[in-house]
Structure 1
């Protein structure tokens, strides 16, 4: 994989060193070191340059990021991979249910990482797996993958700074309030490595905003946004207020209408980390969430999204 980034130097950076310019554009020490180790990784006006050299207005600074090795221990597997968007810096995928994000014990070749490794193997290029946001195994919907170390660094920072806006939709049992905010702290359940619970003594702050979009046949279709990203936050919070998600094996194992937790990451919006262009992506409700009885729920998602 080779990514070339070119900058036309403006008066703002007239007299600044290349090093200061790179730091101002959020190039980490690790990335700068990689650029220095790459043949012609840093050039000024087409000529190899050291990071201590000064820049002048009108200069063209070119940076070449090269990655030749793929992620280790990720076996390429011909699994379904729904790509919503792809460019030189990132890829948006619509993850299916029953697909973990990372390989782990018992999940060696059935993950999103394996599907991506196969995709890039077919393209004949190296593959480094960099998943920016997280979804549980049985939660469907949109995920961001970074395609180079620079975009990964920028996107991770954007995620930490809450500059990547995520909206979820879920089915919840019963008639929820029209809208609300849940701020119950979340902690690990005693004796479990995966289960979480509301715990006002030892839990970490967690904040979930929700809005009811529709109510059909005993279930509410709700839209959710998070101020925090605690493990199982939506699932735990909705159970806490008495409206758990159907099909949730940990918190509400009721499989009457669906065989997995009825949760879908349906909208992502953010500025492109390199170009700054606003991006917005949506993913329609998966088939197992799209209907309650004979009623289609897709129509209740906000218009234009």
Structure 2
């Protein structure tokens, strides 16, 4: 599978004096600067028909031609799998990812991933890096993800992520009773002693900012809403554990399961059998990568989180009814 793209543009005189790679990025702004530079070095973008070095300065008035053959970049197999598609057009797909689904193929998960499913559902994504998947969710985290179907859409969505203009909101159930919301602004990097984990790393970590607010407080638990400014690996899980409110069911950052005192048998059962982090990507908002239209989607919590919240509410009511009255 391959697609040839041919474009031609004359260099405006007001861009004269700038480097070839800078001018080409302006002329063909559907593509990233790094991709443009790579194509220039390959000779796929030329000035007046001649191969030109990226740093060479142009005068203005030259004719720049882009002639590229986009070839299938995927070594992964397309697989027919069920997909919960919330929205789709010619440029993007919005998917509601279920728990247990890995996003990218990796060691131990060579197939059966979201990428395999996307390649089957939209074969054109084979021409886009990572099948158009521009951000990820952990295997056990549920919720909304955007996938780009074209190279131009992917370039724009990546830019929105880098500029922090794409809105991503989550809901979670944390261990502990919060009294309000706040912001965690702590850098995240690889854990110094366990490379499978992330941690707050003041020296070597990358900046990470998580906003959180309380939705409802229960006995020893809090239902919270979170908004990301950045998208570091395990960001919400690491930040909430750092401020001593780890997520229910988190096997890496939540510690050993501790039952609240005097909680109901039903709640004990729900907590004991909740075997994933209670985290859901509930809302996604972005500018459409081609039309520029502002779009947003929001979906309900998955059944397992709804059942856990119901058990927490029921336990809260029962415990308050059991409180003796004093006169």
Same structural fold, with TM-score higher than 0.5 when normalized by the shorter chain: yes
Q: Are the equivalent residues in 2 in contact too, given 1:211–1:222 (CA < 8 A)?
A: yes
- In structure 1, the residue matched to 2:235 is 233
Kindly indicate whether the alpha-carbon contact (under 8 Å) linking 1:100 and 1:136 is maintained by their aligned counterparts in 2: yes
Paired residue for 1:77? 79
The match for 2:91 among 68, 78, 89 is 89
Aligned residue in 2 for 1:288:
304
Q: Which stretches of structure 1, 4 residues or more, deviate above 4 A after TM superposition?
A: 1-4, 13-17, 19-22, 29-34, 51-54, 63-67
Which is higher, the Rg of structure 1 or of structure 2?
2
Shift of 1:238: 0.7
Name stretches of at least 5 consecutive residues in structure 2 with no aligned partner: 6-11, 17-21, 46-60, 258-270, 314-327
Measure how far apart 1:24 and its partner are. 5.3
Matched, 1:189 2:191: yes
Structure 2 equivalent of residue 224 of structure 1? 226
- Can you give the 5+ residue segments of structure 1 that lack an aligned partner in the other structure? 5-12, 39-50, 55-62, 298-305
Which of 257, 267, 283 pairs up with 1:267?
283
Whether 2:215 is the aligned partner of 1:213: answer yes
Choose from 16, 25, 30 the match for 1:27: 30
2:200 alignment partner in structure 1: 198
- Residue pair 2:80, 2:120 contacting (<8 A) in 1 also: yes
Aligned equivalent of 2:133, options 127, 131, 134: 131
Task: Write out aligned runs for 1:94-105 (5 A).
Answer: 94-105=96-107
Change (3 A) 1:15 1:201: closer
Please identify which structure carries the higher helix content: 2
Distance verdict in 2 for CA 1:258–1:52, change over 3 Å = farther
Q: Secondary structure at the match of 1:160?
A: helix
TM-score (norm 1): 0.74
Asked whether the 8 Å contact 1:271–1:278 carries over to 2, the reply is yes
Distance 1:20 1:186 in 2: 36
Between the aligned partners of 1:275 and 1:296, the Cα distance in structure 2 is 44
Name 1:158's counterpart in structure 2.
Answer: 160
CA RMSD of aligned residues (A): 3.5
* TM-score, normalised by the number of residues in structure 2: 0.70
